[in-house]
Amino acid sequence: MRSPAPLARKQERKGQLGRQFAALPIKEEAGETVVMLVTSRETGRWVLPKGWGEKRLSGAKLAAKEAYEEAGIVGETMSKPIGSYRYAKQLPEGRSVECVVKVFPMRVHELLDTWPESQQR
């Protein structure tokens, strides 16, 4: 997986907003709608699985990839975002870059027992 810091530093130098894409994983369970979150590696807070854009992936595909890598969530991500939000992404050495995150709803089909970042979260 590519490190986000070089991309964030490049955007910080240009004064641009960072662009990230998030999944909003939703599952129906016992007649209730459940929203699934992951813990942040840096702070341990509950967050949506998200990541930096990649040239070869659409926002929806990137959101699905991040849900799989960060939480072992497999499902169908809608092609259009339902909204967006901004936040200050903390970078090494105390710097930050403002990011806009487009959020894609995802219907969860399966939760895997192991996934790429299972030992990190």
pLDDT tens for 45-65 read 999 999 999 999 999 999 999
Contact 89, 99 (CB under 8 A): yes
Sign of CA dihedral 116, 19, 84, 81: negative
pLDDT beyond 80 at 7: no
Out of 14-18, 85-89, 99-103, pick the least confident: 14-18
Q: Tell me: pLDDT of 94 over 90.
A: no
Q: pLDDT-derived band of residue 1, with 50, 70 and 90 as boundaries?
A: very low
Give per-residue pLDDT as tens, 9-49.
555 556 689 999 999 999 999 999 999 999 998 888 999 99
Instruction: Give the pLDDT of residue 9.
Output: 52
- The answer as to CATH 3.90.1300.10 being correct for domain 21-111 is no
* Amino acid residing at 18: G
Give residue limits of the domains in the chain.
21-111
pTM of structure: 0.84
Q: What is the DSSP letter of 115?
A: -
